Structure 1
Amino acid sequence: MSSSSSRSVAPCVLPRRRWLVGVSAAAVLASPVGRAWAQFRVEVTGVGLTQIPVAVALFRGSEGVQPNVPAVVRADLERSGLFRSIDPLPQALDENTRPDLAPWRDRTADALVTGSVNRLADGRYDVRFRLWDVVRAQDLGGLSFPVPAGDLRLAAHRIADYVYEKLIGAAGSFATRIAYVSKQGSRYNLWVADADGENAQSALASPEPIISPVWSPSGRELAYVSFEARKPVIYTHDIATGKRRLLANFKGSNSAPSWSPDGRQLLATLTLGGGSQIYLLDVQGGEPRRLLQSSSIDTEPVFAPDGRSMFFVSDRGGSPQIYRMDLQARNPQRVTFNGNYNISPAISPDSKTLAYIARSGGAFKLHALDLASGVSTPLTDTGADESPSFAPNGQSIIYATKHQGREALMTTSLDGRIKTRLASAPGDIREPAWGPLPR
């Protein structure tokens, strides 16, 4: 038996790569929290149409503290491709002192971040910052984050989010998390990491494949498919406690979970009737409800952000294409028309853009479809793309691919101009899923 690295296990809509799946029964091992098997190296290519020059000063008290908070803020902003980092001056600047902005203006900085990192009596750190408009000499505000030492990186991400929102006008996503699956030798791991790939921790380890991780709207749980029972079975998994719950182990295959926006239901592909069909599952249990009656293979369902419709893949037109269906009217309408093989739909948080994988000339490329105009744009120059997932602010898409012969996770802006490569050591790395904004 073999497993696709996409959400589907239906034979008609397999993507270009597969992991071979053994059928031996083995217990899944809940691994202790630990560092990832390989650290990521972040590489940014391309820039936005305009870049805002931002200086992040040395924070008072941050010397010798790891991770270095201002360095993480700089890296976050640079990784977006929308900011150009201005080298800091040698003196540290805290959030309480109004800085002399002239030297920063001379360095062509449009904005300046100052701050401090202070150790508290209880062992925590008080991280404070302030953002300055250098051109207008205006105080743009600031915040403070009392955090344990293990959350210093999170505090830095939140500072970057604040800067991003103030200067770009959209929510940042630096303080979010991603999930992905690695395969090293015969062992599979489900990892949870910061959005930049750092601080990775193993949520689950298994000798059998793990595929299709998806975040709950709260960010507290993941749903995924495990093959430990000699077939695809869907579990939900509490990230904080490691506790998991069997959600779907019906006759045949159980695959491709997708959370409803309210977190109360999941869509899934089941083979209860013999073929791959889409069902609605209640998180609390109960019998699945079949949403479509057809002889076609229907799979890879994803909820639209409003929860009233879904996108899915079907071969009802003769080849795998993506359809949209109102969950009340149940009137499937085809949305992809370019090419004869389009799979792996992911919908943007504002419901305006559909990301998907299209096969063309033997290459699998990430595309973005403007749903209003119907215009589809290829976003990559690679040919082995899979598993797109939107950032919760809708500004980027993460996906798995092969780049220069190496497995990698990459992010791209919606126009394809800015790309970030999270490159790892040799091994398979797949199935990325971007988590929600922190609540």
Structure 2
Amino acid sequence: MCLTMFITQSELIAQLTTESPVILNRDQPLYLVERNFRHALAQPISASWSNVGIRTVLERIEKTQQISLILDRRIDPSTTLKIDLQNQSVEAGLDEIASALHARAIVVGSNVYLGPDQAMGTFKTLLAQKQQELLALSDNQPDMKTRATQLSRNKSFYYQDLDTPVQLLNQIADSYQITISNPERIPHDLWSHGALMAVNANEALLLVLNQLNLTFLWEKQGTAIRLLPVPDHVTVQKTYSSRGRSLNETIEHLKELFPAAMITREGRMLLVDASADLQEKVEAELNPSKRPVRKMGTPQIDVLPIQRRKFTLRAQKVPVLAVMQKLEQSGIEFEYQPQQLNQAGVDLTQRIDISVQNADANEFFDVLFGPLNLSYQIEGIKVSLTPDN
């Protein structure tokens, strides 16, 4: 909840107490993460609330389902809802709740983040930008490769009632050994308790800063950030190959479908400058047979075991880690020890060229992990990675 010039701190505490009791030393919640979190989102839920505040509704779901839910501070937590969920998945139910708030729910790490629709689109684009920044730094500065791997590790953070965003950001910064160059830009605010579960550095920082209409710039080889206001127009660049049409025909076709995107030619590839939401639509248009990233509220689809899948991918100079992250979105899990890989000189941000067509799992992962001298073992939907001896 925001502390503004219209509300004194004592009045704010009174409001928080009315909605839910203020407890300054809550026990650390036992929320589910990773595979267990995704499984929980698919479980059925039946519940009804009438004229109940959104904070109370979400806290009830958090408690019963053991999942972390983050309500953006720009949504009034006292907003009352009339919700009737009957035997639908938790994920679909949260999507319905978000819709009732004229908001959107997205999965970030092992959390469901609910916020204003436009702000969530901006958040997704900023997250893609930050990932590209780290990859660019690791390409241009060899010393950044290990640092980029460190910042990609998932961690969890907890905060209490009446904690401030400064306290939470300092907790994140200390954990990843980051200096905030201009902390004076962080506005004073008092938040209700919550958690950021299984998030990397980019996700953790943006989950806090985006709610304050701030973003950041990586500095000093990934050991510092400078806070910046969120620009009015946020885009990210991605390249794609053309299929079924000439490059020029594809460009014209995409420009007709997506006039808000900047689409140009870069060698034999398409360069698209657009929001993350538009990038997903462009990718779906260019690769209609490719399984789309599942959105909140869509029907639950059983995850196909890896050995029963076929893989098609053509990309140039793509980081192996970026491919892994994309595969994770389709339900594939990767298990490895970052320290073990670092000691063996394995760099997951290494860029490779990859071209496979309707390949089975072993053929695909041979091509993906062969250049890194990584061994892999497939079991169900999990891929375990170890350095070659």
TM range (shorter): under 0.3
TM-score scaled by structure 1?
0.25
Bigger fraction of residues in helix: 2
Bigger fraction of residues in strand: 1
